[in-house]
């Protein structure tokens, strides 16, 4: 009988150890990957070029697209320039992830090629989800509210290749 009671006690503690964390509903932050698509115009840069227009999109789930801050760089021969001044400042995404910006042209001291690189910052988001209760009628509570947390990870993307000309023959 003693063995039976001790076996029951061990089983009860094992079940409690498994059931308690799931009953508490431990909330975790879901990581969400982000990538950036970039397209720059004009594709041929010479000394008369006054600006480069950039359009693109941040690809992520719906809760991680809106109001993301972007930073732009020129990449020449694998070397990234310092951050570029943009118009508007700062560049943020619209609700669907789209963005537009105007950049200063790259240096035209020598012929070659360059690319525009866009980087998006990491941010934490909380998304409210309303649940429904079965049988909720007049005067009864309509449902529960859950808050889901997303870790919108940083990401980057390179645009099309821009041909740079110094304007000399």
pLDDT at 23 exceeding the cut of 90: no
Q: Quick one: which of 99, 100, 108 has its CA closest to 44? A: 108
| pLDDT, average across residues 98-114 | 91
pTM, rounded to two decimals: 0.74
pLDDT at 139 exceeding the cut of 90: no
| pLDDT category of residue 97 using cuts at 50, 70 and 90 | very high
| pLDDT category of residue 145 using cuts at 50, 70 and 90 | confident
| pLDDT, average across residues 18-37 | 72
| pLDDT category of residue 48 using cuts at 50, 70 and 90 | very high
Q: Quick one: which of 123, 124, 122, 113 has its CA closest to 158? A: 113
pLDDT for the residue numbered 151: 93
Determine the Cα–Cα distance for residues 104 and 53; give it in Å rounded to an integer: 9
Number of residues in the chain = 169
Taking CA 125 as the corner, what is the angle to CA 117 and CA 27, rounded to the nearest 5 degrees? 130
CA distances from 39 to 17, 56, 71, 109, 129 (A): 54, 6, 14, 23, 35
The count of other CB atoms within 10 Å of the CB of residue 16 is 10
3 state DSSP class of 116: strand
The full set of domains in the chain, from first to last, is: 34-122+155-164 (2.60.40.10)
pLDDT at 91 exceeding the cut of 90: yes
């Amino acid at each position: 009988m003693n063995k039976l009671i001790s076996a029951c006690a061990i089983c009860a503690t094992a079940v409690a150890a498994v059931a308690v964390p799931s009953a508490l509903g431990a909330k975790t932050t879901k990581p969400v990957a982000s990538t950036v698509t970039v397209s720059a115009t004009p594709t041929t840069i010479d000394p008369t070029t006054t600006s480069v227009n950039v359009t693109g999109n941040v690809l992520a789930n719906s809760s991680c697209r809106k109001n993301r801050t972007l930073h732009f760089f020129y990449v020449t021969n694998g070397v990234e320039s310092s951050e570029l001044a943009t118009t508007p400042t700062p560049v943020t995404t619209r609700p669907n992830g789209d963005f537009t910006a105007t950049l200063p042209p790259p240096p035209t001291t020598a012929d070659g090629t360059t690319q525009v690189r866009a980087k998006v910052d990491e941010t934490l988001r909380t998304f409210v989800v309303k649940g429904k209760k079965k049988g909720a009628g007049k005067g009864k509570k309509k449902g529960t509210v859950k808050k889901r947390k997303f870790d919108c990870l940083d990401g980057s993307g390179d645009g099309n290749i821009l041909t740079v000309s110094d304007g000399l023959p």
